[in-house]
Chains A and B, each alone.
Chain A
């Protein structure tokens, strides 16, 4: 043990034990002194019990509402609109605007892969444990949410009332594949260019894109579930035909 360490951690003469060695390095709990940890019993367990009780109460009240049960399944009577479960309505909404293979398989498949590889590209450790990484990150997230919402709503309205397919229908790969891919790639590139104005770190750029993903995910569900009526045409929620809400 070095002279200096001995000075900082002197061995008490009344103690039968002493500091043997100081080692450099990190292990999960190194440097986490007793001052920033507390006993799991009771601190963590109390919080867990509260979360469980809260959820139970919420669920019991919600269960005063009866789960749906419609008529016996009948392949000869098509539901109009025929909707998938609500958490797939974002995919079904995309189906209205592009080739089914692109909307239903390729994009969701790619999204899952992209999500899985995020941590292998988001490698800086500077802002771990901080919501949105920084003030700048928060601004980028808010801004990206607004940008995405405006474009999405605009595109949905455009494709309903002007219709890409009535402008260009031939050949089918144009409205089915090329135009949607070009729009998505173009809007992503534009988002990137706009985020660059903040001179962001890579982490903050990723925050911008993840926000765009989350907003798209929910907005498409909302539009597909609450704003699509007969023939999957845009309708206001209070004008929906009975049975258009697939919960």
Chain B
């Protein structure tokens, strides 16, 4: 197909294209290494991975899926922010308007809600997979600790978002939850006051939950996911039975 090649050449053999993509199409060993190293969004990957860690039945893709769901939540959440104000007077009406008057508003709200629920589930399942395959063992201890924090953060993100529609479901769920916080030994009442900004769930709580939900918790999440990924690389990629074989060799020597 000479014509196709010449079109491809016309597109790729010029200074503009080559200023964006520094290597040719990744079909040679060298270009495959380069595409990973030269591209911001790929360079978090190693150039080569163990075949063992590619088996679906090893990770079930739970980590990647959790990360992707988080990205979906950031994107759809940003869209929702265009149409929502965290005040008792407006919040509920804004959600109603989103469902009826905003283009794709209902779809985006549904996606945001269900992705959040799904993420709570996939992160927990990811934790189970890591434990049952021994992925938390030396040298990955600390990445597991970061993981536990990520799990708690995921739940807190979901929980702070739950209040925002300001309907009965939201109101009573947050009341039940913060009442539990209130019975913490010694500091319960103060903690509850810190979250709610008042004695009861009201406008102050809505503003605080909003701030936590749209910026403080997601910010922490982004930083910690960054550290989590960086440490996967520094800990030698994903765990695999090769490591246990090494230990046994070491013992016989």
Contact = CB atoms under 8 A, between A and B. Distances in A.
B216 to A, nearest CB: 19
B120 A83 contact: no
Contacts of B109: 67
Contact of A44 (B54, B99, B141, B200): B54
B129 to A, nearest CB: 9
A175 B68 CA distance: 45
A-B pairs, top 9 by smallest CB distance, nearest first, are A28-B236, A104-B180, A73-B171, A119-B141, A63-B110, A67-B113, A129-B241, A37-B48, A82-B172
Interface residues of B, number: 97
A101 B183 CA distance: 5
A118 B144 contact: yes
A189 to B, nearest CB: 22
Given A65-B114, A70-B169, A85-B159, 4 more contacts: A31-B242, A51-B68, A69-B169, A79-B169
B226 interface: no
A127 B183 contact: no
Given A42-B26, A48-B64, A85-B158, A74 B168 contact: yes
A40 interface: yes
Given A40-B36, A104-B183, A71 B167 contact: yes
B180 A105 contact: yes
A202 to B, nearest CB: 12
A83 B162 CA distance: 12
Interface of A: 26-29, 31-32, 34, 36-45, 47-48, 51-52, 55-56, 59-60, 62-75, 77-79, 82-88, 91-92, 95, 99-101, 103-106, 112, 115-116, 118-120, 122-133, 141, 203, 207, 210, 214, 217, 243, 246-247
Interface of B: 26, 29, 32-33, 35-36, 42, 45-52, 54, 56-58, 61, 64-65, 68-69, 72, 88, 92, 95-96, 99, 106-107, 109-115, 117-118, 120, 124, 127-128, 131-138, 140-141, 144-145, 148, 152, 155, 158-159, 162, 165-173, 175-177, 179-181, 183-185, 188, 200-201, 234-237, 239-244, 246-248
B182 to A, nearest CB: 9
A164 B167 CA distance: 36
A85 B162 contact: yes
Contacts of A116: 144-145, 148
B72 A59 contact: yes
Contacts of B242: 31-32, 36, 129
B183 A105 contact: yes
A59 B118 contact: yes
A40 B49 contact: yes
A203 B137 CA distance: 11
A132 B134 CA distance: 8
A203 B158 contact: no
Nearest to B55: A47
